[in-house]
Structure 1
Amino acid sequence: MFTTAVAAADPMKQVSKFLPERPKGRTIVVGAGKGSARMAEALEACWGEPLEGVVVTRYGHEAPCSRIEILSASHPVPDAAGERAAQRILDTVSGLTEDDLVIVLISGGGSALLSLPAAGLTLEDKIEINKALLRSGAAIDEVNCVRKHLSAVKGGRLAAAIYPARCHALMISDVPGDDPAIIASGPTVGETTTAEDAKAILKRYGIAVPEHVARHLDTPAASCIAPDDIRLSRTENHIIATPFMSLEAAAEQAKGEGLSVLVLGDTIEGEARETGIVHAGIAEAVYHHATPVPRPALILSGGETCVTVRGNGRGGRNVEFLLSLAVQLNGLDSVYALSGDTDGVDGREEVAGAVIAPDTLARARQAGIDARAALDDNDGHGFFEALGDQVITGPTLTNVNDFRAILIL
């Protein structure tokens, strides 16, 4: 079912459904995200000639293209390659005319990959603030709000640079609610948050910033592009794949195998360990009381939880969710679960997620591993690696957020 969910969001199946009218002038392609290279490959397959451009993706997530140049950079922590790529993209769309068309390919991960800081800021500033936000437990919309107000390309700035050419953006959503302004920090979407909002988020999570960054947030340069800005008047944003589409695909497969299916939604956020506790309670209700659905049953959910890293572990929201779920279920018979990120990367690890079974805790004890201690140390990756229960897919070349499935037999 995890494979089915990922396949439903394959750009090869979706890009051709959202093609724009061909322009009188040039057709240029730019983009960023963990699925952007696959999107570019799909566009080349269905558009034909002429086509040119450049997109940036995460290291290892490249796809074969002949006309669109594929660049690679670091994710989730930005690097100099991402800074150079963002500048290349801005240079590529400069000086265009009304007759030209720019197709923008956006997917999750684009925020870190488009790491061009605003004037007066450095890449090191953005890296340190980004690291602090990722460890703080801040929600993805909060993280992206700060990113936008420190950026030279996010928060509608890319679309503004494309104007007066036509901008046709195709997006794969990896965010709860599928808000285009949050996907990759909305490089082609007008922004309603303010620099004051960004400052409030930094204060809320106790993240100190250098004095020159604080001064930047007090200047007009920190303001993003407003939704009614004339430079956005020729921009269209289209979401071509969503987390819920993938949950629906998995649900249909499960129903075909005779399972009762409960879809909790694709917008679940909050601390991963708390989400695990809640999911365990629902699974126990199904197991003991046949409510809200009878056995055999499947519980599905998506969204993007977070991990406030307080221990010495490596974090990872999918493995933390599963470890919390396993501890709460305490070996409940006939309950199995998988949780994985659909891009194949949980946190900063080249691991999609993991699986649990009724014997997970018993096997851990036999191996001398304390599951509760691992959870307290935010060491889900170490726990499941030791048991051999990781789900490793490699780059999937798409990204529609997390996939969680609990099977109750």
Structure 2
Amino acid sequence: MTDLRRVARTMFDAAVRRADPARAVKRHLEVPAAGRCYVLAVGKAAVPMMRAALAKLPEVADALIVTNPENACEVEGATVLTGSHPVPDVASAEAGRAVMRFLDQAGEDDTVIALISGGGSALMTAPAEGISVAEYGAVNTALLGSGLGIEQMNLVRQQIDQLKGGGLLRLAALAQVRGYLLSDVIGDDLRAISSGPTVAPIGTATEARHVLENAGLWEGLPNSVRQHLQSASSPGPLPAATNLLIGSNRHSLEAMLDAAPDGYPARIVNDALTGDVVEAAEEIVEAALAAKSPVALIFGGETTVRLRGTGLGGRNQELALRVAELVTDRLPAGWVFLSGGTDGRDGPTDAAGGIADADTLGRVRTAGGDPAKLLANNDSYAALALAGDLLICGATGTNVADVQVLLIPA
């Protein structure tokens, strides 16, 4: 690993450490003054968030964790369930039913503490009446391959799920609900984090239908989903709740600034890098070509990939490969670009993203691959594997979206 590749990895690791969910919970969690206390933790950071809460709360009536299998482990004093990510399945639905039973315990003088982190949209599901788990999963598969942004996807999810878009509040209507949220959403819209179980929905069923029609997805959806969205009535007002943002992507970008090496002036170019990964790559390269080197250019956000092929990969892997393709012979030799998900998992792979440099495409070709064909097939994982450029770190136990750094020597 070259010095700049090590620097890029060090900066990524700093971003992950800054998103420590346990430290955030310890700093912000308030102990209820009276009544029984029920603690629910949902998302990829659920385990450390729950451990921190149990350590601070003097007494807990019941505690339930819903997380991904990679982050699941035994937590004394809590029940641990796993769901599927990024596409929900039967386990996700079973977790959703368990959450509904859990909430049903809370009474008028009780408090439900909801520890919410990214990934909960898939890990915990409760499909609306008449929609099967398989049909619900098919909708999510279509959304993930559509190129839609997270807010639009979660607007749809909220309208076909009993727990999302404030659904948790309705199910715990007698109790006081306090939400503590770790954001994986750029802009930190609380309604979009894990599809907003403790806040108002992003939109209506009619707006969800318009999103699906504009994306060309409506006609391909299961009949049960279309019928539900066409006939859904407007719900009444939500019960009151308290919600607090306790961590975000911006905090991690600032940690990357602090970790930049001497001699490499660092700056955050864009802390809201969203939209199609092709356009994001172009934006990064444009900033690189305009920058005075040496420099460390930092980005954060959550891009989308429009699936056109049958390959395996994720938005960070594809972004790394596309940047490499665009900057070939246009930057000083020795540049390094890293794009990674702070949760340690990019798409349905074991990689967090990729680390590319000026020789990445050459190594792919030497190993027998065609970078352009692999990209066209959305097969970024195979391409980066051939180059030895996958970013592998394992599940991190947190999730504040994605971070990128482009290091350009003099």
Q: TM-score range by the shorter chain?
A: over 0.9
Work out whether residues 55 and 89 of structure 1, in 8 Å CA contact, stay in contact via their aligned partners in 2.
Answer: no
Work out whether residues 322 and 338 of structure 1, in 8 Å CA contact, stay in contact via their aligned partners in 2.
Answer: yes
Q: Secondary structure of 1:259's partner?
A: coil
- Distance of aligned partners of 1:167 and 1:216 in 2 relative to their CA distance in 1, 3 Å threshold: same
Q: How does 1:10-409 map to 2 (within 5 A)?
A: 10-207=20-217, 208-221=220-233, 223=234, 229=237, 231-233=238-240, 235-254=241-260, 257-286=262-291, 290=292, 295-331=293-329, 332=331, 333-409=333-409
| Number of aligned residues | 395
Work out whether residues 108 and 174 of structure 1, in 8 Å CA contact, stay in contact via their aligned partners in 2.
Answer: yes
Using the alignment, how far apart are the partners of 1:378 and 1:342 within structure 2? 21
Per the TM alignment, residue 284 of structure 1 is displaced from its structure 2 partner at its CA by 1.9
Using the alignment, how far apart are the partners of 2:102 and 2:306 within structure 1? 39
Q: 1:17-69, CA deviations, whole angstroms, 9 ceiling, x for partnerless residues? A: 11123232111011321111221122122224335221210111114411121
Per the TM alignment, residue 125 of structure 1 is displaced from its structure 2 partner at its CA by 1.1
Using the size of structure 1 for normalisation, the TM-score is 0.93
For 2:196, give the aligned amino acid. Answer: G
Using the alignment, how far apart are the partners of 1:306 and 1:3 within structure 2? 23
For 1:140, give the aligned amino acid. Answer: I
Gaps of 5+ in 2: 1-10
Per the TM alignment, residue 120 of structure 1 is displaced from its structure 2 partner at its CA by 1.4
C-alpha RMSD of the superposition? 1.6
Q: Secondary structure of 1:217's partner?
A: helix
For 2:88, give the aligned amino acid. Answer: P
Using the alignment, how far apart are the partners of 1:384 and 1:51 within structure 2? 48
Using the alignment, how far apart are the partners of 1:159 and 1:284 within structure 2? 49
Gaps of 5+ in 1: none
Per the TM alignment, residue 232 of structure 1 is displaced from its structure 2 partner at its CA by 2.5
Per the TM alignment, residue 356 of structure 1 is displaced from its structure 2 partner at its CA by 0.9
For 2:198, give the aligned amino acid. Answer: T
Using the alignment, how far apart are the partners of 2:54 and 2:134 within structure 1? 35
Structure 1 residue ranges, 4+ long, deviating more than 4 angstroms after superposition? none
Work out whether residues 38 and 106 of structure 2, in 8 Å CA contact, stay in contact via their aligned partners in 1.
Answer: no
Using the alignment, how far apart are the partners of 1:358 and 1:268 within structure 2? 23
Q: 1:191-211, CA deviations, whole angstroms, 9 ceiling, x for partnerless residues? A: 251111110111112222222
Per the TM alignment, residue 213 of structure 1 is displaced from its structure 2 partner at its CA by 1.9
When structure 1 is superposed on structure 2, of 274-283 and 44-53 the one drifting more is 44-53
Work out whether residues 23 and 99 of structure 1, in 8 Å CA contact, stay in contact via their aligned partners in 2.
Answer: no
Q: Secondary structure of 2:181's partner?
A: strand
Using the alignment, how far apart are the partners of 1:260 and 1:20 within structure 2? 40
When structure 1 is superposed on structure 2, of 243-252 and 204-213 the one drifting more is 204-213
Using the alignment, how far apart are the partners of 1:124 and 1:373 within structure 2? 32
Using the size of structure 2 for normalisation, the TM-score is 0.93
> Percent identical across equivalent pairs?
37
- Distance of aligned partners of 1:249 and 1:34 in 2 relative to their CA distance in 1, 3 Å threshold: same
Using the alignment, how far apart are the partners of 2:271 and 2:92 within structure 1? 29
Q: 1:96-122, CA deviations, whole angstroms, 9 ceiling, x for partnerless residues? A: 333211110111110111211011111
Q: 1:208-250, CA deviations, whole angstroms, 9 ceiling, x for partnerless residues? A: 22223212112235x456xxx2x422x1111111000000011
For 1:212, give the aligned amino acid. Answer: S
